[in-house]
Each structure stands twice: as structure tokens, then as C-alpha cells.
Structure 1
């Protein structure tokens, strides 16, 4: 029997109150002196980020800035980033931003070590040599990209979203600094926080789950239930921001170890077609997914409900438990956090259901602990966003 490792964590995680000081420490410890900072133009100009860059330059670290990252980044952006890396003769990458900046930075790191173009690495058979030197600094608490082994890029000519899964290209360091989150708008805080919650909930329900990943997923859900509403209500609540950020990082780590299930399949399909914000889409999808997997994961669906404050009648049958648990999540999503209704997107139920085959074919659907056929996918899409 081949040994299966159920928990792998190669990223060095640092939680800090002083971003500049910590980046200086990392550069000196790891022996880097010419980083390329990969970010978007807004984050690149944030006072905290500018101050950190200044601190690096004061100790003789030569920082170049590549700030051309946009949402849903293109393969071409990765190519431009590789050119910037080579022009600077860089020896490392500091990725600061949300998931898009992390994706571009990881893409640059893969290509600068392995050559070719990022598109080639969407083929799982193509080998990827270890890519050190990426320091990830998240500015949102949701994607968990600072821990992820995946990146998604969009092919400019076709608009197709392509995923690269690369264990050798995870970050070398993840630096968590809550100060970067204090100005995140409430709407983004909700969407990012729901993405993190769904990483944990779906990882918990996944076929790839193990007792070790379960314990971490439970804790991530607990932290988000208790601190995300506080961060939404008052963005300057630093304790809440830090707890949410830690939960997001833990949930991102679980992505590599337990995967996600049908909720993410639905979000990927509908997000690409109708531009539904990813964190909102997984939040709209989760209740129907919980009810769908309840027949084979009854105790876990019950547990998610308990974390969310659900109370069950004594000896309640599994069907009733599943409905109560999914209602508890809807209460968290709609009342405590205040996610706007799916109707705001103006997509009819018939239109949503027309995507059932694409959901069946989506790569993460297979992690769902019940098989998803066309009828199941239609049922899940009918429940998408119901309140």
C-alpha cells in the first residue's frame, strides 16, 4: 500500500505587526537582495506598502515594482512579469495583493525557473522544478492564495480560464499583516470571508478530507463565524481582521490538502459566464451543496450547523438536521453578514439551470462525496442563492 500523507505545509508563515521590518528579516534570512514586487497599481501605492518598500531600500535591498496586475489576470501579464523579473535581474518575488497578484507572481516564478510560457504548465504531465523565492503578502482575507499550490490565468485570445496546479510553486513565505485589511470595503470583506468559509466547509465535506484536515477546517469555520461579522460591521476592528485573516490562511492551506467540491464547481462555471463575484457565488451555492451531501456526510453537515449556532431537536432525522444546518448558514450569510440577494445579478433560474452539464464536467466536482450527474447539478443550480 502506498503511503498517503494527509497534511503537507511547506510555507513558512509569519504573523506580524510591522510589514517592512518582517520583509527585511526575510530578505536577510533567505539571502535575497533584488526582489520584484508584483502587485496592482492601487495596492502598490498604499502608504503601508510604500513604507515597507522604503524600509527595504534603506537596508540596501533593490526593489523593482511590477504593478500591472488586473482582476482575472491574463497569460500575457505573466509574460510581461517574467520580462520585468529578468530586466531587474531579480532573485525573488514579493507578491502583495489579492488572489490575482498571487496568481501572476506564482506564474512568473514558474516560468522564470522552468522556462517556456505559463500556458504549457496547464498540462498536468509537464514537470515543474521547485520554485523558491516567492514571498506572499495578502491584502484580502479570502482566497488563501498565499498558501495555495494553484493559479488561474485567462487566455487572452479565447477568454478561457486555465488552472495550473503546482506543489513545487507554493510560496516560500506567507506574511500576514492585519493593517493591510483595515480599509477593505464591507462588500469585499463579505465576499472574501465567504470564500474562506466555503474553502473550509467544502474541504470538510470533500472525499479528500482526513481527521487532520477536519480539525483545521472546523477551527477556520469557527473563527469566521465569530469574527467575520465584526470585521464587516467595523473594518477598523484589528483583532477581528487578524482572526479572519488567520482563518483565511488556514482555509487556503486546506485547499491543497482536502480540495473543494461542487460549490466551487458551480462558482467557477457561473463566475466565468456571468461575472458573479467568486466569494459571493460559493456563498450562494453552499446551502444546496450541504443538503445534497447530507445523506452521505450527515454528522459533518450537523457539525457545520453547530459551528453556525444551529440547535437541533432531540433525535431529529438526518433530513431535518440538513435543512436546519443549511438555514443556519443562510442566516449567517444573509442576516449576520448582509450578503446582497442573488436576484441583484438578474439571472433567471432557468438560465442558471442551463449550466448543469458544465458543472458536471468541472474538475473539482469529482471531490464531492456523492456523484454529480445532470439531475443533481440541476437540483444544485435550482437552489443557488435561495434565501
Structure 2
């Protein structure tokens, strides 16, 4: 396929299961892995389903190592520590189990253990990355889509900046989806993760890298989240709602590989690293202003997002009116249906947010936005961040 502009590719095998232990055991047998390293955090490793899966592997002679030092907004040093743990365990594979941070660390470990150096080296797009097999991804949240994504985000400890690595050779070998892992996810995390997935789809839909096939997936992701995320928030034990939301987040990760994200994620990366705003909340706070900014370049798509959220446009409605209705629908879904807490609870004023305009313009994903972004444009979006 050399020279072809392939706009849709999905190399990750996906398994849906209601028996995590047996599924992981079958994967180990099929792939010939005997010494997996679990990469996770200190809470997920205590979950009964996870403990039971580790026990089941042990019963069959699979020697499991555990690296449970992952924290939110993972640092480059955590990846280095994970590489050390991989080597000390003499691991032959990685089972990444948790949210996006665990997936990011695991992918970073897999890149460095195969290619050497530091994970920060690979934030340079020119740095080659050899194929990195052996990662099995098991999400415990429904948001990042990292189980299918080719991206990871890590904070450089030297500069405190969030940096991205995009690595098609380092996608998961397999993604294992088990809705039972989501049933105890608190409502606030369900909201944040669901908004992250919705914004992956919305931003990918609006991206300059969008394609017709990816657009269809993004539309379905937004539809599923509009219809099932409120039920998962209202009743975390609703397994069908959890499964639908989980599938939407995974599909959004697929779309993310092909369409990317735009300036909403740039805003979230800059503000998240500086003020520790929860990522899924940050992209949700950013989306309405991003839609307004992109609307001159993508008016039909902005209208479509509103329609997915239930807007019925009057006959003859102008583009400006339609955009306003679509933006209002996003705010209603975010603030009234899901009840995301107001951004003011972070205690940061608009002037402080606006001071980050240049950093947003310079952030990697801003270039996918289908309009050129000036510092004044970024400042305007930052001043509207979280407006209700």
C-alpha cells in the first residue's frame, strides 16, 4: 500500500467478554506468552475481578508481574520505572489494565523496552519506532479509547509539559472489553470519561484529517453516548448502558487514530498539566467554544452534532442560528443532563486561563483544527472555557 492515502485502518483485535480471567488465559495460550507484566494503578490492582484474573493465570503456570505505580497525568519517570519493572520480571508481554493513564504508561513501556532510550525521545515525530508487540489492553473506564489508540500523553518531568507520542507500531495487540469492570465506576468519573469519548468523536468529526468512514464512526459514537451515557451516570449497575458506553469509547479510540483531535484537546493538555483539571472535564468545558470557532469551516458538521443531541432545526434556519442551537445542545447535555460540575469549582479565573493562549496555539493537536488559530482566537476560546 506504499503511496496510498489510507484513511481508515484498525489493526487491534477486539474481544468482548464476561469472564476476564478465562479470556486473558486464552490470549496467553494463543500468543505463547508466559510472563506478562500487569501495568496498572494501586486501586485497580485491588479490584476483585482483577485479583481473580491474576489468580486464574497463576493456576495455569502463567507468572504474573505487577507494576502498580501509575498515577493520573503520568510522568516520564513512571514510564522509566515501568521499563525497569518489565526487565526485572523478565516479562514477555504487558497487560495494561485501568484507565487512560495506565494505557499511556504501558504503551510507553512497550516502546522503550523495544526501542531503548527515554519515552521523551519519541515525542519527536521524526524519531523512528520499531514494531512493539505484546500489549493487551483492558480498559476499566469508558473514555480515553486508549485500548485502540496509537497515542500516549506523558508529562515531561524536566519541563512539566504534557507531550504526545503518536506511534502506529505501538498499538495494542488486543483490546479486551469487560463491562463488569465498569460497574463500580463513580458517577463523576463516568461523566468525565464519557465526555472525553464524546469529544474524541466530535473533534475527530471536525478535524481537517476527517474522512467519510471515520465520520460515520464518530456519528455513531456521539449517538451511543447521547443515548446511553446518562443512564450509566444515573445507575452505574446498568450493565447494558455500561457496555454501550464502553463500545462507544473504544470506537472513539479507533476514530482518534485516523482523524485525530483538534484544539479542544490542546486546551485540555495545556490546562490539565498546569492546573490539574481532569482531562475529560477539560475537553467538555472546551467543546462549545471550539465548535463555535470551527463552525465557519465545518457548518454542516456542527449542525449534525446538534442534531445527534436532539436539536430540530426550523426550516430556513441560518447557519449562525443553527450553530448557536448546536452549541446550546452541547451545554445542555454537559451541564443539565450529565450535570458536570461548574468549572468555577476549580477556583481559576478567566484571565488566568487566557494567559495560556500561546501554549494552546503551539500544542501539537491544534494543527488539526480546520482553521488557523491565532493567539487572539485561542484567548477567546480560553475565556469561554466552561461557560454555561
Which band: TM-score by shorter chain? over 0.9
Aligned residues between the structures: 387
Q: Secondary structure at the match of 1:209?
A: coil
Q: Secondary structure at the match of 2:364?
A: coil
Q: Secondary structure at the match of 1:377?
A: helix
Matched residue, 2:216: 215
1:119 aligns with 2:120: yes
Matched residue, 1:360: 361
Trace 1:150-299 onto structure 2 (pairs within 5 A): 150-299=151-300
Matched residue, 2:30: 29
Q: Can you give the 5+ residue segments of structure 2 that lack an aligned partner in the other structure?
A: none
How much does 1:69 deviate?
Answer: 1.1
Partners in 1 of 2:387 and 2:79 — Cα distance?
38
Q: Specify whether residues 379 and 157 from structure 1 end up closer, same or farther in structure 2 by C-alpha distance, changes over 3 A only.
A: closer
Trace 1:309-320 onto structure 2 (pairs within 5 A): 309-320=310-321
1:39 aligns with 2:24: no
Partners in 1 of 2:162 and 2:86 — Cα distance?
24
Q: Secondary structure at the match of 1:309?
A: coil
1:383 aligns with 2:384: yes
Q: Runs (4+) of structure 1 moved beyond 6 Å?
A: none
Q: Secondary structure at the match of 1:36?
A: strand
Partners in 2 of 1:217 and 1:143 — Cα distance?
14
Trace 1:335-350 onto structure 2 (pairs within 5 A): 335-350=336-351
How much does 1:160 deviate?
Answer: 2.5
CA deviation map 1:46-66 (0-9, x unaligned): 100000111111122111111
Aligned residues of 2:143 and 2:195 also touching (Cα < 8 A): yes
Higher mean displacement: 61-70 or 153-162: 153-162
CA deviation map 1:75-114 (0-9, x unaligned): 2222221122112211100010111111111111111111
Aligned residues of 2:155 and 2:273 also touching (Cα < 8 A): no
Q: Secondary structure at the match of 1:41?
A: coil
How much does 1:162 deviate?
Answer: 2.5
Partners in 2 of 1:33 and 1:62 — Cα distance?
6
Matched residue, 1:48: 49
Partners in 1 of 2:69 and 2:272 — Cα distance?
22
Partners in 2 of 1:151 and 1:373 — Cα distance?
26
How much does 1:351 deviate?
Answer: 1.7
How much does 1:359 deviate?
Answer: 1.4
Matched residue, 1:307: 308
1:98 aligns with 2:108: no
Partners in 2 of 1:293 and 1:354 — Cα distance?
21
Normalised TM-score (structure 2): 0.97
Matched residue, 1:144: 145
Partners in 2 of 1:126 and 1:286 — Cα distance?
32
Partners in 2 of 1:119 and 1:377 — Cα distance?
26
Aligned residues of 2:161 and 2:270 also touching (Cα < 8 A): no
Partners in 2 of 1:323 and 1:314 — Cα distance?
15
Higher mean displacement: 342-351 or 34-43: 342-351
